A and B are shown apart, each in its own frame.
Chain A
């Protein structure tokens, strides 16, 4: 859905984006992760033609931008940074302003999209009176006016309470279920892990990782946690076991790094046959947060 190649942008002497090669598959929720100032919004602004790249190419839906910008953006809905509105207008009037720019079909969708984001009852109130969560929802409603193939949402969970986040997560799943692509920038790693199928990580203007979430969080060597009644004995027993690359005692057992993808059964058999009671054998899955912290430079510098 989105392809960029060697995309670069500098503001003065500061490089905001450096040779970014990004591929976002169609019909999925795609997370775009990075610290504040890493280059997330710059890439989004480039995609939307809000600023011009210094080098590189971009394609959305297979079409080159900015060359075919008008055609492409007619089916793209976007919230950049935070949704802005004319605060003196009502929610409905704000949608009418943008729908007028998009065309008659968008005008006809106003009531439908207001109902979809749960703002039908407050549509005739001035935006000045809306909470942050309501403004986020109105921003999504504005995106939906385009009946978009692609939604670009920049930090959409900002300011939402837990209930709002749950609703938002469900809405994104619905949108993806309808075949739309949702490109979601965020620094809320847990949310991206729960919401998205794939993600990219940007750090100091460089894309440092991208792919399906499962691949991103896969550990380089599988690890298991073992809960047992004699950790000290178990550690001695596993020393030199061919399936074990490394083992260490923890508070309630052992943490074992495996030499390969299998070997758990033989480790268990070895412990049980030696009379050690095993009550837990649990593979360890790294979280996206751990992975993110590992690959971004800030942690590297801290080390």
Chain B
């Protein structure tokens, strides 16, 4: 496969995702919308009663922003887009027609990953940019994050987005069902993981969970309370990215079209 074809396929994958109005609307809400509502609410609250409520921006608000985008809304956004990318060809019946072109099934699978990641990153970047802007604009004399911290925060959110959207593409290809993928991954990240993190008796077994590993890498040191070596955290994040991708590729390669 030439670079030109790979580029064309990437653009086509992106087109399929961009033109899904429902996905784009919900995705925009989960990223940009949430930041606008969150910062807007804090600022309105501050404006209505400055004595009781401090300014909406500053370093603390930035940390809230990172947590919201990295652990929760970023997860939802990446899962939504990754699940769509992983299942859309199979659910529409077009997968068969793509296979019938003679193009390798692995190429058909692996082009979905960068497309899902790119769209997730684009929406996250806008949301993060707005959030950072508000952090500085509404700081009102509070300390603000350094440029280095802002860049590290961007890198951390990007890492979380890449891991989660790749995971969703892989699981989507495995199950072939958007609903099953969404429910299982949102359930894992929003319900199962927080429960397991709080079961102290599990000890180091909790290291294999994605969110605690991401928490170990968060730039301001605000993890989820599961201590692990940085190398272990990196290995866990890589595992959560590579293994589902490999499983998705295997399923795409073996699925009857």
Contact = CB atoms under 8 A, between A and B. Distances in A.
B97 A49 contact: no
Interface stretch (B33-41, B99-107, B129-137, B156-164): B99-107
Contact of B93 (A45, A69, A84, A88): A84
B254 to A, nearest CB: 10
Contacts, number: 91
B12 A50 contact: no
A62 interface: no
B108 to A, nearest CB: 7
A49 B20 contact: no
B149 interface: no
A101 B94 contact: no
B16 A48 contact: no
A51 interface: yes
Interface in A165-200: none
Given A51-B257, A84-B92, A104-B8, A97 B16 contact: yes
Interface stretch (A72-80, A213-221, A284-292): A72-80
A98 B19 contact: no
B5 interface: yes
Interface in A34-64: 45, 48-51
Contacts of A85: 92, 94
Contact of B94 (A72, A73, A97, A146): A97
B103 A70 contact: yes
Contact of B256 (A51, A93, A97, A102): A51
A73 B102 contact: yes
Contacts of B19: 86, 88-89, 93
A87 B21 CA distance: 12
B4 interface: yes
Interface in B1-47: 2, 4-5, 8-9, 11-12, 15-16, 19-21
Nearest to A47: B100
Given A73-B101, A102-B103, 9 more contacts: A76-B102, A84-B97, A86-B92, A96-B12, A97-B15, A97-B16, A98-B97, A104-B4, A142-B97
18 contacts: A49-B102, A70-B103, A76-B100, A76-B102, A80-B96, A93-B15, A93-B19, A94-B94, A96-B15, A97-B16, A98-B94, A98-B101, A102-B101, A102-B103, A103-B4, A104-B5, A107-B8, A142-B97
Interface of B: 2, 4-5, 8-9, 11-12, 15-16, 19-21, 88, 92-94, 96-104, 108, 256-257
Interface of A: 45, 48-51, 69-74, 76, 78, 80, 83-89, 93-94, 96-104, 107, 142, 146
